Structure 1
Amino acid sequence: MSGRVAALVTDRRARVPFALIGLALLLLSGTVVLQVETQPEPTPPREADRALEQTESATETALTTALTAATEQAATRPVTDPAETPYGEVLAEGDTFDRYLKALFYLEAQRRLDDAGQTVGEVQTDVTLPEIEDSEDFADAVDRVTLRPGSETDGVESGVIEAEISGVETVATSDGREIETETETVTVAVASPLYELHDRTQTYQQRLDADLTEPGFTQRFNARIYALGWARGYAQYSGLPVTEVISNRHIVPAANDAIYRTQKDVFGAADPELNNAIRRGWLCMAMHDAEGLYNDHADKGTNLSGTLCSASKWLFGNQATGDVPDSPGVMDLLGEAPGMDTTHTIGVNGTSLLPIRDLASGSGSTSIQGVIDRIYEVTVETDLHTETVREPVFRHDAPPKTINSYVVETEPQGVDVTVERITEPESDEEYRAVEGVVEIEHEETKRHLRETTDGQKTVVTTASGTERIAFEITVEEGELHPRARVDEYNGEDVPVTERYVYDSGPGIARAGTDRTVPLGADGGRFENYGDPGPRAIEGVFDLPKGTTRTAGRGHGERRGDRTRATVEEHVESTLASKWSNAESEADLEFNRRETVDVPHSSRKVLVATVLADLRQIRQQVSNITHTFKRKELVHDGSETGPYGELEEKVQERKERYLHRTEPFESIGQKAVYEARYAYFAALERYLGRIESAHGSAMDEIDNQLPDMGIANAIRYLQEGVTATPPEPVPLESSSLTENVTYEVSGSPTYLVTENVTSETVPAVDSGEQFAPMAARNKNYLKLPYDSVVNGLLGKIGNVLGVSNPDAELTFQTASEALVAGDKATDAANADPDHGNPKKLSRLNGELSSAVRSSIQEYSEAVGAQMTFHLYPEDVTAADSDTELVRSADDCESDSCVVVPRDCTRETCEMEADTEGDRASEEIQTAVTAAVDGYGGTVETADAIASGEIKPAIVRRVAAAVGEDSRPNAATGLDYQQWRAIVNSSAQQVVRDAAAEHAVTLSDTKTVEKLDTEIRQTLESVSKEIVAKRFDAAVNNNSFDIGNYDNWVAGTRTPVRVPAGMPVLPVPGHWFATVNAWNIDVEAEYARFEVSANVGTPATATGTTYVREDRTVKREVAGKNRRLGSVEPISVSGKSVLIVVVPPGGIGVGDRDDRDPECSPTWPVVGDVSEEAIHCDGEFSDSGTATTGSRRGR
């Protein structure tokens, strides 16, 4: 089959033989646009056919060659950024690379089709494409090409590019005359991995630029930074001499390692030399860590890292020699340090004591007395029944000759009430019945019309009459304990067993099996409401309190003494007043809410029952814990933190203590449940305060991170070490070729922060300085003094109700500074070369004196506040300007002082000659003895900071106050019960006093100067350790680290004064210290190549796709036109490192003087522009790198 026939059969071109066209023209009379012109004198058909067939074959060959050449050109200069020129804008109208390859194909096709013409006998053929004379023609030329890469097109094999080009014109001539002209669309295909190489490289660039939430470089880099940061942070926290948790020397190998892993993710392979270079990079970092502990190298012995880490010797990784360790994985980097998912457990613990303190020693509605009063409260209602016994009779003297009379008005003139009896109804719910008679004297006015000789006249007369009304007022039960809050919890009013609302009981048989059911005095039956009648009568009829008490129950018919007369007198007076002003029976109602008195013996027993029940609940509730991952300590201030979660667990647990559907056994049992409710409400309030303080801490940390904010930082924290490797995209190849394999090569192989030139990296332009990588890191919470003192502690103090500190250090920070100062002084005394012993001693003495003075103030404050909390009823105002209230609910202004919560020595004092006044001296002496006898200055300050001093204070105070001197609430309690009350009071007192009375300084300069001296001394000691260790290693000498145990052993070893931000610096709750670093890294390859083993005969070694910073020009329309540029492969990533360490160590943070630390060219990568280099500027999500000037432009 001939080529022309084959083409027709396979429909590869949209045309038919000329003979068929002529036949169609004869048969059809329609209008047709002809593409074939027949000459007057036809050439023999066989020569023309042969010429066209050969031309067709040559055309396909030329176009195939053109497509192959275009793919090779596109691979070596792949334009990805169109130029802002008329010709570059043509490429910008769609996918730049795709339109660029179309343009290359068209330009190559134009050139190669010049050789596609054929000569057969007298027939010659020429093949052309429309010429390009301007940018519009260029756009038309690009649009004439359609590309169908197999990786994107159904029906086309992967690894194959199919191209279709329209407007291919073939002209056949003979003796200079055109005999045939045809314009057609030709389709050719070549096997080429170009699109796979381009797409895979674009994916690689996208992974290098990917956000933290997407697989790519930033995820892997962040994982390595977290592993390094947490490992080094915990080493520093444990006392090892780690000055910088994260430095640029850590960023470089971590970034290259992340690049290596990202290459493998995307290409299924990585630069074979990069792994060797990374191994040496990690080793170099380790050597620098050993030598540069304090920003310096050992000044003795051999500078090993200077030789090992010369970047120019291993930029391509192929000169790594010796047994270099393998590159560490993320978990290798993390080592033994606790990871982000390490759990921490907090519990209610001592906080469970605070509500008991409030209930036992407080006053008002939050005290046990207030709880009892709420339960022993009833709403009294009255029911009035009346019956008119006698209507008033009015006798008027009508004048004679009256023809008509009518009443004008009737007015009451007086009311006389006589109480005949006050009886006790048979029902318990009816407290009293008051029976009597009301006599109301009325005056009636009448108008009379009479006849006289002078006509009709009017006469007015008045007459009096008495109305007699019998009445009965029943004073009865309305609602029992209407303000009971335990009913709010259960959603309904759970009643008390009817039998034991008023009557005494139950007895020992029932109460002995349930600790919440109280017994009466001496183990008898518990007195419940008893007889509320007397108080009900007193309340309803405004009788003086206690007036009816002597009458007792059932006194109605036996009255006759003064009490009876007094009661009747007040009742009669009250009723007479109401009747005089009443306009209807509704005005005679006597609804009152009255509190029923509880007999003293029952009240005392009830208090003891409540305390015993709450002590058991406290023991159980104190064991409630919440376990969380350490990373959850840092969260957005609006989110729920660990203490909020703990509070929710307490809320769940309280159901077993408060939920009740069965009636209560007695009024006393309901009072116990009401106390339970008050206990949990207070406990949740305290936990809520701690959670609020945690939120305030997060807000303050947010303020300390102005460049990123805590919400952004938390994203990196949550990712931490959780980056999961993405599955590489499988590499497919065409069946026309062998299997495709890829090879990646970067130049330089290992990206460093040092400038390189063409001497070490040939891909760099001659005479240029090239920066492969730029890095910057900033530690936000380096020095805690001013930021913590003036910011965080003040805000938390406001939440917890303590004053804002002014130029103060917490006891914990001060004690750590003292430890560091003592050790530095010892070192300077041993060897003056290490430091200035006199200066260290003086500064340490100043701080120590301030700490001792603060400890004394602390003792005095605790003594006074313990007295206020144990004897709140004896507290009085220290001056006339202070407004004291017993409950926050009673406070109507911003200046009132709630007793005992807000009491200080300046606002409160003990009233003279009271139990509290007499006990105050004993309490103060006991507190002073407990604090003074605890230990040295550092140990005591530590105990105050942690709250561990509380047991010593409780023990001394409980023993010092005798049974006769105890407050009323503790009367009759045994020693253990009394100690529990003291313990519950001490819980808040110790915490508040530690916050109020921190170490006061005139400013922070003393401790900052001490910090500087300590650091310099420790640097000197560390240099000596490193120097001797290296000398021993190089010269085979011995080295005994035991000589430096005082510096490197134990968790209390102070590498520096603590850095970092306390998450919650409240004694007993300072469960973590946090610090943050913002890390940015930018990089650029001078050249990046991806090779495939499939190529053309001219490039038998394979197709190589090259990305380097180059401008691309091509000759179009007779001139060199700038089409665009090749974008280099660049890296942009960041990490926000948050390290959280437990309390008790020395915190975590950098202690060098560089902040931020920048690489030499930051933020410039690529060709170095000195003018653009600077180390300031804000940190941002997108990075701040500046790329050097474009080459070749």
Structure 2
Amino acid sequence: MRDDTRGRVPFALLGVLLLVSSLTLAPTFVTEPAPNRTAVERALNQATAETQVAVRDGVSAAGQQAAANPVVTPAETPTGRVLNDSTAFRDALRIRVYHQVSNRLEEVNGRSGDVTVTASLPGVANVSDLRAAKHRVSVERAGPNETAMRATVENIVLTVRRNGAVVSTRYVSPTVVVPTQALMLHDQVSTYQTRLNNSLDKPGLSQRLTARLYPMAWARGYAQYGGAGIENVVANRHVSLAANGALLGVQRSTFGRSDPAGRRALTEATAVTGIEDIVRGSRGTAVSSDVLDRAEYKPVSETPPRPRTTNRPGPGPADSMTVGVNETAESAFRTVTVPSTLNETLEDAYTVEVALKTDSHRLAGGPPGKPPSPGSNWTLVDDRTTSSVATVGNASGRIGTPDGWHTVETFSRTVERRYTRTGVWQDSADRRYTTTSSTARYRVSVAVVGRHHGRSPAPNRSIRTAHDASASPLNGPNLADVEPKAMETLVGDAGGRDRLAEQVVDDSLDRTEATVTADRPPGLYDWVYRDLMVLRESVRNTTVSVERGSVGTFETNPPKELRERLRQRRADLADVPDTYDSTARKARAAARLTYLDAVLTDLDRQASARDSNRKRVDTQLTERTDGSLRALRKGLTARETPVPRPRPVPVGPAGPVRTRVDARTPYLTLAELDERRYRALEGSEHPLVARNTNVFTIPYGDAADAVVGGAFESSDRVRLATAANTLAAANQTLENESNATLAAKQEDLRQEVRVANGEMMTQLWLTVDEQTDAGKRESRAIVSEAMSAWETPEARALALTNGSAQDRVARVAGDRLTLTRVERDRLRLLLLGVDTPATKPTLGSTNGTASAVRTVAKDELSSALADAGRQKAQRVAKKRLGTDKLPAGLPLAPPVAPWYATTNIWWVTVKGEYARFAVSASHGSPGNPGARTTYARDGGNVTLDVDDDGAAERLGTADRVSFSAETGVVVVVPPKPRGVGDKDGTAVEESSGWPNAGN
């Protein structure tokens, strides 16, 4: 039985197509002419219908040709200059439409009897004709979801002839819609290239590259921090892998699907990268080439594998980290508890203001009158008055106490002031003197008043038991001795009560205000010190939570946030009562406030240093890369920016329009390729090139020095901890492999570390000698006993730099000298503050040893792989030849502040070019269901014989799809000397071919 299902077309779709055809081609189906129609009309109708078909066929063919050879950049030729730079593809398509339609119109021939009709467009003989031809054609996307193309050809000439003679002309401008996706595909590829070159703040390759590099860098960074044998946290092989995955992601969001060959290649490249990571940063050397040659891969499906859910080895950039006041609490404590400083604070709390308040009231008498004249002819030429005062007895009087003051003592006196007034009289040459006397009596009231303001930082509040010696918690005098001291200072120094009253009357009292300091109880210093120790722990535990990524990009300032947090807690931590129950309590409050202010000052200084470091880091980024902290922050934001969803499959007139991406090469490798592998290539090319800069490769002799600034006395010195870690790396390497060069450098560095240790230990026993009664010999013995816990120079150096040695010295001294709790604590803090330039080894010796460690490790890995292949290389790598101990990264941020984190930055730039990038779309009709439009860009020249002279003119070039993307990645780990960063000694990793991708 015959199968009637073959070639069957859905009736609904067939009906639509028939309806469309009946509307556009109606004149073709006219049967018998109407009685009133002339032969001319019949011929014109037939020609119009054939013209419509010719235009449709020409537009369809032009669309296919333009997509297959798209003009992206106009040629510098007369023909190419007809195209506008911004619309080159559309202009070339319009010219192709004109050319195709013009050729097909030659076949149009309407006939009725002796009447014929032909169709034509003006010929193209020169550039002016070509420009006019372009303007006769318009094209645009149309149809459902704009998957088709609408084109209009203006002013096609229909010429009517009867028996060969022209009788009339008619102009028609047909508009057709054809199911070709030339415009759609061009727009999509243009969007794809735009997204590939978008900056970090726009959707595209840079954002997706960032999103892929961040989890990779943080996972490897924390694994390295945890001790894994990782030399390069971010290597170019990782950049290549992330870039290709990002490219496929941009393809999916733009075209709805990605290149299946690219997906397969990405899966294989992931496996290759995993093997390369075993050999720890071989960076395309013979080591990695051997690994790649030996690797065998199983077939993989077109669908990329679903990522496995695994526990991350560490937190991510959005995770919070806790930053505390920590050692700042101790450094400020060490400053404010210096005996002279703390005693001054306590003395101020026991210091009060005292003053004299006086009142003088005249009871009787007064100054004398004018002296008597000697006679009628005498003239008074001078007049002088003298007086003397004398206390003549006690008096009863009262004087008010000013607000805020209290009365210490009051007394009153009766004071007489005796006046003698002498007049000088003149009569011709004679002169005579006459006198007169009088007495004035005054009542003088005096009050000695005081208030507890003084110079203390403690708030001025009342002390309820100020002058009660028994009320002090330390059994001290409180302020009980202020009254006699005030009387002695203000009254006794004035000559006593009588004399002071006399001075009030004759206005000769000089001193009316003073400060008086009461005696402090002997145990006050220790009592306040112990209280501050408790406060110190509360301050030390003050923390803020900040995002790790924001710390690394310097977007947040942890010391500043800590300062604000501590400022908010200041009142609670100071614990100042509304009224003081004793002067000792005021002294305690004063000491607490002084300490808290010292911590705030230190944090403020650290916040300023953080801002300065931010500027220095920005400078390093700018000088070493094309990046900046601003761009780095954009990358941090971009990694979480939602990427565009894959474009849904559009539906055209004939059903879903599915696209397929075909890239050559499907995986853009960093390796050099040629036409032997890919025919689309021209000679040798680098499809992808990358430049990867690790900004803070090592914390000595590199960018970190420029950031931390004052960390070193000179540029040729490094921190003792850095040298110690480098020495430890050398030791571990030499335990597994012998190497004369490394051994010599190790010995030089060990000697420098040993000398630095000796200088540090000398400073420690000198501190013990100064702060205790041990004496020099006993002080040396104490330090020697404490340091015996660490045997090797590097172990001693690390103990001396991380504080554990100082803690142990303080404990040994406390036990041997029977120190009090306060004395032990004070000694420990002073020991932690010991540091001199002599305790810093040289840069040259440290860097030389580090370089030798890396060389030995790489040579051993290469040798192991050459001898026995990958398995032995894996075993050698697992021995961790010491490179994992080498420090890297930027410490945040000694010496100004406690080390609360280590950060590092990688700035990555990738450039790439597809030898050929093609996208095809299905647009099959019921009669041709497999039809496709393919848009391909390969960099070739695009030509067209526009004037039909047999020689093609160059319109332009089908530029290759190329891109340049960049991003920055920051990783932040906790504060350990190992840090995070690339440890192979190469700060800038450039792939072969950089910076030129493609041909």
Q: Matched residues in 2 for 1:651 and 1:181: separation? A: 93
Distance 1:88 1:918, change over 3 A: same
Aligned with residue 529 of structure 2, among 594, 611, 621 = 611
1:750-1149 aligned within 5 A: 750-765=667-682, 768-787=683-702, 791-792=706-707, 794-796=709-711, 804-805=713-714, 807-828=716-737, 834-836=738-740, 839-865=741-767, 923=779, 925-932=781-788, 934-961=790-817, 975-983=820-828, 985-986=829-830, 989-990=831-832, 992-994=833-835, 996-1001=837-842, 1004-1023=843-862, 1025-1026=864-865, 1030=869, 1048=878, 1053-1055=882-884, 1057-1066=886-895, 1069-1094=898-923, 1100-1116=930-946, 1121-1144=953-976, 1146-1149=978-981
Aligned with residue 396 of structure 1, among 355, 371, 381 = 371
> Partner of 1:809: helix, strand, or coil?
coil
Q: Matched residues in 1 for 2:398 and 2:860: separation? A: 93
What does residue 481 of structure 1 align with?
A: 453
Aligned with residue 507 of structure 2, among 579, 587, 590 = 579
For each residue in 1:690-712, what CA deviation from the matched residue of structure 2 results, as whole angstroms up to 9, or x when unmatched? 45555555555444432345514
Q: Post-superposition shift, 1:46?
A: 1.1
Equivalent pairs counted in the alignment come to 962
For each residue in 1:446-472, what CA deviation from the matched residue of structure 2 results, as whole angstroms up to 9, or x when unmatched? 889x9x9xxxx9999775655636253
What does residue 462 of structure 2 align with?
A: 496
Q: CA RMSD in A?
A: 4.4
Return 212-221 or 458-467, whichever deviates more.
Answer: 458-467
Q: Matched residues in 2 for 1:574 and 1:934: separation? A: 75
Distance 1:295 1:193, change over 3 A: closer
Answering whether residue 473 of structure 2 is matched by residue 519 of structure 1, we say: yes
What does residue 630 of structure 1 align with?
A: 548
Distance 1:718 1:859, change over 3 A: same
Answering whether residue 351 of structure 2 is matched by residue 376 of structure 1, we say: yes
Q: Matched residues in 2 for 1:372 and 1:331: separation? A: 68
Distance 1:1165 1:846, change over 3 A: closer
> Partner of 1:118: helix, strand, or coil?
strand
Q: Matched residues in 1 for 2:422 and 2:165: separation? A: 146
Contact 1:1018 1:1055 in 2 (8 A): no
Q: Post-superposition shift, 1:977?
A: 3.9
Aligned with residue 188 of structure 2, among 187, 192, 200 = 200
Q: Quick one: which amino acid aligns to residue 170 of structure 1?
A: L
Contact 2:696 2:703 in 1 (8 A): no
Answering whether residue 324 of structure 2 is matched by residue 347 of structure 1, we say: yes
Q: Post-superposition shift, 1:641?
A: 2.9
Q: Post-superposition shift, 1:1093?
A: 1.0
TM-score by length of 1: 0.72
What does residue 37 of structure 1 align with?
A: none
Aligned with residue 313 of structure 2, among 336, 342, 347 = 336
Q: Post-superposition shift, 1:1089?
A: 0.9
Aligned with residue 496 of structure 2, among 567, 586, 596 = 567
Contact 1:789 1:805 in 2 (8 A): no
> Partner of 2:650: helix, strand, or coil?
coil
Q: Post-superposition shift, 1:1082?
A: 0.9
Distance 1:574 1:793, change over 3 A: farther
Q: Post-superposition shift, 1:746?
A: 0.3
Answering whether residue 653 of structure 2 is matched by residue 741 of structure 1, we say: no
Answering whether residue 519 of structure 2 is matched by residue 599 of structure 1, we say: yes
Answering whether residue 335 of structure 2 is matched by residue 358 of structure 1, we say: yes
What does residue 731 of structure 1 align with?
A: 649
> Partner of 1:596: helix, strand, or coil?
strand
Return 231-240 or 754-763, whichever deviates more.
Answer: 231-240
Q: Post-superposition shift, 1:473?
A: 5.5
Q: Post-superposition shift, 1:529?
A: 3.6
> Partner of 1:786: helix, strand, or coil?
coil
Q: Post-superposition shift, 1:431?
A: 3.2
Aligned with residue 78 of structure 1, among 70, 74, 77 = 70
Contact 2:236 2:283 in 1 (8 A): no
Aligned with residue 649 of structure 1, among 552, 565, 575 = 565
Q: Matched residues in 1 for 2:332 and 2:597: separation? A: 8
Aligned with residue 111 of structure 2, among 110, 119, 123 = 119
Q: Quick one: which amino acid aligns to residue 1070 of structure 1?
A: W
What does residue 1184 of structure 1 align with?
A: none
Contact 1:439 1:467 in 2 (8 A): yes
Q: Matched residues in 2 for 1:353 and 1:1153: separation? A: 37
What does residue 439 of structure 1 align with?
A: 417
Distance 1:100 1:376, change over 3 A: farther
Contact 1:216 1:262 in 2 (8 A): yes
Distance 1:1153 1:459, change over 3 A: closer
Distance 1:52 1:754, change over 3 A: same
Unaligned runs of 5+ in 1: 1-5, 14-42, 310-319, 488-492, 508-517, 548-565, 581-587, 798-803, 829-833, 871-915, 964-974, 1034-1038, 1168-1193
Contact 2:553 2:970 in 1 (8 A): no
Return 50-59 or 470-479, whichever deviates more.
Answer: 470-479
Contact 2:701 2:715 in 1 (8 A): no
Q: Quick one: which amino acid aligns to residue 953 of structure 1?
A: V
Q: Matched residues in 2 for 1:1128 and 1:978: separation? A: 77
Q: Matched residues in 2 for 1:419 and 1:186: separation? A: 134
For each residue in 1:606-633, what CA deviation from the matched residue of structure 2 results, as whole angstroms up to 9, or x when unmatched? 4454334323323333333344443344
Return 691-700 or 50-59, whichever deviates more.
Answer: 691-700
> Percent identity among equivalent residues?
24
Contact 2:769 2:779 in 1 (8 A): yes
Q: Matched residues in 2 for 1:325 and 1:264: separation? A: 14
Q: Quick one: which amino acid aligns to residue 910 of structure 2?
A: V
> Partner of 2:681: helix, strand, or coil?
coil
Contact 2:363 2:441 in 1 (8 A): yes
Q: Quick one: which amino acid aligns to residue 850 of structure 2?
A: D
Distance 1:259 1:125, change over 3 A: same
Contact 1:415 1:579 in 2 (8 A): no
Contact 2:420 2:436 in 1 (8 A): yes
Q: Post-superposition shift, 1:1104?
A: 0.9
Q: Quick one: which amino acid aligns to residue 226 of structure 1?
A: Y
Q: Post-superposition shift, 1:424?
A: 9.5
> Partner of 1:1089: helix, strand, or coil?
strand
Contact 1:290 1:1026 in 2 (8 A): no
Q: Matched residues in 2 for 1:445 and 1:729: separation? A: 119
Contact 1:486 1:677 in 2 (8 A): yes
What does residue 1187 of structure 1 align with?
A: none
What does residue 1150 of structure 1 align with?
A: 982
What does residue 188 of structure 1 align with?
A: 176
Contact 1:772 1:1084 in 2 (8 A): yes
Q: Matched residues in 2 for 1:67 and 1:460: separation? A: 141
Unaligned runs of 5+ in 2: 1-18, 27-34
Answering whether residue 213 of structure 2 is matched by residue 213 of structure 1, we say: no
Distance 1:935 1:281, change over 3 A: same
Q: Matched residues in 2 for 1:1068 and 1:333: separation? A: 36
For each residue in 1:229-255, what CA deviation from the matched residue of structure 2 results, as whole angstroms up to 9, or x when unmatched? 334444444444434333333333332
TM-score by length of 2: 0.84
Q: Post-superposition shift, 1:940?
A: 1.4
Q: Post-superposition shift, 1:1130?
A: 1.5
1:38-77 aligned within 5 A: 46-77=38-69
Q: Matched residues in 2 for 1:1106 and 1:648: separation? A: 60
Contact 1:827 1:835 in 2 (8 A): no
